[in-house]
Structure 1
């Protein structure tokens, strides 16, 4: 009997041509019985109530987050077809290439547990799949969302985002931060405090190369004011097409409390603002999801 799957497709993700028909054909050739859902439709959430034996998501990180938040506590594997710009989640899981090739290589027995982060802040509780943090990334999200050009290629969009990071670094001030973790407390003036579930953040910035989204731990990346030149050099190298040659201060924790002297923080691609200073609790929830991996 054919495996019953539901394909959730964002037809506007990226610039490349990944039509509904091409995706359905590749899934049919794999032997799947597929129901198609446009993620822009009003009833996509209803279709997640009984999605079958496999959920397939074709889109970028935003589409992935939009769909998988409905799959928490459910024992349903997820297949990713990365069609977005950064594709941080897919890249962190080692998933890349043409959609048809990814589908052809799927094995339902090869699954990777995936943790979820929970943030308790001034706005209440929210979850993240990539990262939450303070400093340059809330500014980047706010600024870049205003300047995005849908006509740019994936490479041009990533380059534009890195240029925005560069501009922010030239103009931003560090902020005082205190972090309370299970076994230590840290404080100082930081440009960036990023609590990461995966290794990549923003425009494919490889800040936590050892992060494992299924290890039950958060990777806490810290960039101090006295490391500004180092971070600027990292961005400049990335803009020249060079890989990650820098290492950052990283702590691992299941739970932490962050006290930040400024007013904004982000949870994945959403920026939250409150009266400064702000206090935010963050913890990991292990094994909430499972993804098919190569």
Structure 2
């Protein structure tokens, strides 16, 4: 069995031991090629023959690799080693690896859908979600913070400190929204189109999301839900809590607004000027990625 192990040496925690992981996999009978994701041209490793890709790193590294492999049929496994680990958390993967080869032979696989978004200027894919309002504003604050000399806060620490302050600072905005042909236009504080259960500073926004189905989960927080939003964010500072806001299962979503939006952890702004209001169209691609579940207690098996 041939394994490509992609790792980010500067991921958020110090728990990952590269030599220990390689040694464990080789003792299981695997042949391992380790590739640093910070190296220029690291994608060349995908030209080799391999049976499994293991990604060790945080959400940023995982998203980058998954989008590189968006049309791959080769199984993927994760060794979550970031600060949030939202993708691994949504998939029920905890980083268990000593029985990787055994689980591979047992075909202990699950599926993950990949999202698509399109504007007048850009087409792209996403793993976690696309949204407007609260989380986009938080990412903009994080970007500003990174530009300050000596700022090393990660999105979990920064989010925990600043997220609860944002609702009272953000104006309610008007959006034109269509979800599977139905009009949901109105004034909202926060909009998220989610492919995974959680995003950002480990916010569980779509607890019932099925990462292997053909639907996205849309969360719309209305202006009259301000207090409920503040209570949720306040509680999140102290413990893991689930969002109180209902989500809508959907296959095709369009949002019209001039406002910036986030795609996973990146912020986008509409660049071109043309008649009408800029629109973002969101859906899922048909091909799904295959994941190896290496947690023996995971309930998400063989979807």
TM-score of the aligned structures, taking structure 2 as reference length: 0.87
Q: 2:100 aligned with 1:93, yes or no? A: no
Contact in 1 for aligned 2:145/2:151 (Cα 8 Å) = no
For 1:241, what is the secondary structure of its paired residue?
coil
For 2:232, what is the secondary structure of its paired residue?
helix
Contact in 2 for aligned 1:181/1:256 (Cα 8 Å) = yes
For 1:52, what is the secondary structure of its paired residue?
coil
Residue 32 of structure 2: aligned partner: 34
Greater strand fraction, Structure 1 or Structure 2: 1
Q: How does 1:196-215 map to 2 (within 5 A)?
A: 196-215=194-213
Residue 286 of structure 1: aligned partner: 286
Q: 2:92 aligned with 1:107, yes or no? A: no
Deviation string, structure 1 residues 166-221 (Cα, Å, up to 9, x no partner) = 12222011111121122421111111110000110211111110111110101011
CA 1:141–1:33 in structure 2 vs 1: closer, same or farther (change >3 Å)?
same
Mapped partners of 1:285, 1:27: distance in 2: 32
For 1:80, what is the secondary structure of its paired residue?
strand
Residue 253 of structure 2: aligned partner: 256
For 1:286, what is the secondary structure of its paired residue?
coil
Residue 225 of structure 1: aligned partner: 223
For 2:230, what is the secondary structure of its paired residue?
helix
CA 1:207–1:83 in structure 2 vs 1: closer, same or farther (change >3 Å)?
same
Residue 82 of structure 1: aligned partner: 80
Contact in 2 for aligned 1:54/1:76 (Cα 8 Å) = yes
Which residues of structure 2 form unaligned runs of 5+? 296-303
Residue 135 of structure 2: aligned partner: 137
- Give, in angstroms, the shift of residue 151 of structure 1: 6.3
Instruction: Give aligned pairs, total.
Output: 286
Contact in 2 for aligned 1:181/1:253 (Cα 8 Å) = yes
- Give, in angstroms, the shift of residue 83 of structure 1: 0.2
Deviation string, structure 1 residues 262-282 (Cα, Å, up to 9, x no partner) = 420111111111269431111
Aligned Cα RMSD in Å?
2.1
Mapped partners of 1:93, 1:150: distance in 2: 31
For 2:288, what is the secondary structure of its paired residue?
strand
For 2:236, what is the secondary structure of its paired residue?
helix
Q: 2:267 aligned with 1:271, yes or no? A: yes
Deviation string, structure 1 residues 78-114 (Cα, Å, up to 9, x no partner) = 01000011111100011115x5457477435011111
Q: How does 1:42-191 map to 2 (within 5 A)?
A: 42-50=40-48, 52-97=50-95, 99-100=96-97, 103=100, 106-108=103-105, 109-147=107-145, 158-191=156-189
Mapped partners of 1:266, 1:122: distance in 2: 16
- Give, in angstroms, the shift of residue 69 of structure 1: 1.6
TM-score of the aligned structures, taking structure 1 as reference length: 0.90
- Give, in angstroms, the shift of residue 75 of structure 1: 1.0
Contact in 2 for aligned 1:216/1:287 (Cα 8 Å) = no
CA 1:48–1:144 in structure 2 vs 1: closer, same or farther (change >3 Å)?
same
